[in-house]
Structures are given as C-alpha cells and as structure tokens.
C-alpha cells in the first residue's frame, strides 16, 4: 500500500458504515434533508473519532530513535519514512485543532496537515541537532493554511507577487531548520538583506490570500 496515501486521506480508510435508509416517502423534502444531514454529521464525527483513536496507538520516538529513522528515511528507506510519519500524526492533530471553524472540518484540516508532515519528513536533516517536531510544525501549519485559503479564497495575488512571497517563505523554512525556532520577520529580513517592513507585509499576505495559478508555498 502507498504509505503517503495511507496517511494523507484518513477519510477513505476510516469511512464508517452508513446503516441509515436514504429513501424518504412523501413530500416533506425539508425533513428528509435535515435527516440526511444529521446522518452525515454523525458519520463524520465517527470517522474523526476512529482516526484519533487509531493514531493514539502510534508510539512516539525518542530523540535517538528519531535521528536513526530520519537518517534511514533520507536514504530512501520506506519503512523508516512511514515510522517517522506515523509517530508524528498526533502533532498534526494538535496543530489542526487550532484552525477549527476556519472553513474546513477537523478531518480535512488533518488531511492537509498530513501533507505538510510528509514534506517535513522528506526535507528534515537530523544532523542539525534539534527535534523533528520543531521543523515539522512549520510545514504542517503552511499546508493547513494553504488548504484553508484554497477553500475560502476571495482575493488573487498577481504571479509576480506570489514569486516574491515564495522567496520569503523559502528563507523562513531555511531559518526554521537553522535556528530551531520559527523565524521572526526581522531575522528573515536580515537573511535576505531587505527591509523588515516588506517582510511583514508579504508574510501578512500569506496569511490571508493565495494565487489561483501558483500555490503560495510552492518552491518556484
């Protein structure tokens, strides 16, 4: 089974059985719609709870284990890659909960966050000397925020602005790994030799809008 698909689309694997009868008699369409929505809501809650219960059995890694599996993952070891992902699924849930009521369900937020977790596993350098969770948090937040913006976007950025924004985002990723914390606008500005005000303005755009043509977090 494809490891990435297994963790990035929990709804497919955890789809609860719907034992309700979707047929309705009579002309009371409103009542039918309400009943169907209620069943759908219960089903979604059941799937979310099942997912949360299942990942609770994934053991966390010690610092030494984390380095061991991260090194193997960088060499292409699929089992090590899966272990890194599975051991950090609870981190995705923790971060996802901060974005509830922003336009996506918790399960959708988790799905977006899992994409960021996978990317973090692929990019993490264990020789930097800090924990994986610090590095992964940035990636998880970025993919969740991008997912929310793609769902609710009302403003489009010109392509040249998106490209400029990507410069700041790439710098932020590099500094996150180097400094062992999420960089401030001033630290990014110093790295790029640009005014801190410009950095704050561009990062502010990243929190509110996305381009219809180029994903904000794309490495372009």
Please state the domain extents for the chain: 1-16+28-133, 153-220
- Check residue 24 and give its pLDDT: 42
CATH topology of domain 1-16+28-133: 1.20.120
Residue 160 near residue 191, CB atoms below 8 Å: no
Query: What is each CA distance from 1 to 5, 17, 80, 153, in whole angstroms?
Result: 8, 22, 15, 34
pLDDT tens for the chain, residues 1 to 220: 444 333 444 444 333 333 344 444 444 444 434 444 444 444 555 666 777 777 767 788 898 999 999 999 999 999 999 999 999 999 999 999 999 888 788 888 999 999 999 999 999 999 988 889 999 999 999 999 888 877 665 456 677 777 788 788 888 888 887 887 888 999 999 999 999 999 888 888 776 654 433 444 444 4
Residue 87 near residue 60, CB atoms below 8 Å: yes
- Check residue 191 and give its pLDDT: 92
Q: Cα–Cα distance between 178 and 107 in angstroms, integer?
A: 32
- Check residue 28 and give its pLDDT: 47
| Residue listed under structure tokens 């899992």 | 114
- Check residue 216 and give its pLDDT: 44
Q: Provide the 10 A C-beta neighbour count for residue 203.
A: 15
- Check residue 174 and give its pLDDT: 84
The yes or no reply on domain 153-220 and CATH 1.10.10 is yes
- Check residue 46 and give its pLDDT: 65
Q: Cα–Cα distance between 109 and 97 in angstroms, integer?
A: 8
- Check residue 88 and give its pLDDT: 92
Q: Cα–Cα distance between 140 and 190 in angstroms, integer?
A: 25
Query: What is each CA distance from 149 to 36, 69, 71, 216, in whole angstroms?
Result: 28, 33, 34, 10
Residues in the chain: 220
- Check residue 77 and give its pLDDT: 92
* Closest by Cα among 10, 103, 6 to 51: 10
Q: Cα–Cα distance between 91 and 135 in angstroms, integer?
A: 12
């Amino acid at each position: 089974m494809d490891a990435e698909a297994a963790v990035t689309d929990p709804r497919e694997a955890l789809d609860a059985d719907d034992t309700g009868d979707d047929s309705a008699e009579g002309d009371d369409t409103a009542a039918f719609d309400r009943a169907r929505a209620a069943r759908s809501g219960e089903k979604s809650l059941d799937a979310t709870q099942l997912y949360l219960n299942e990942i609770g059995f994934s053991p966390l890694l010690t610092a030494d284990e984390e380095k061991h599996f991260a090194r193997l993952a960088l060499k292409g070891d699929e089992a090590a890659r899966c272990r890194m992902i599975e051991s950090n699924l609870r981190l995705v849930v923790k971060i996802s909960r901060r974005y509830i009521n922003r336009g996506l369900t918790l399960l959708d937020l988790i799905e977006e966050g899992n994409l960021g977790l996978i990317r973090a596993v692929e990019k993490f350098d264990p020789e930097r000397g800090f924990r994986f969770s610090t590095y992964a948090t940035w990636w998880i937040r970025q993919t969740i925020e991008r997912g929310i913006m793609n769902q609710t976007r009302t403003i489009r950025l010109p392509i040249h602005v998106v490209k400029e924004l990507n410069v700041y985002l790439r710098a932020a990723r590099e500094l996150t790994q180097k400094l062992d914390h999420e960089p401030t606008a001033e630290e990014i500005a110093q790295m790029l030799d640009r005014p801190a005000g410009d950095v704050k303005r561009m990062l502010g755009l990243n929190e509110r809008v996305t381009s219809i043509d180029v994903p904000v977090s794309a490495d372009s």
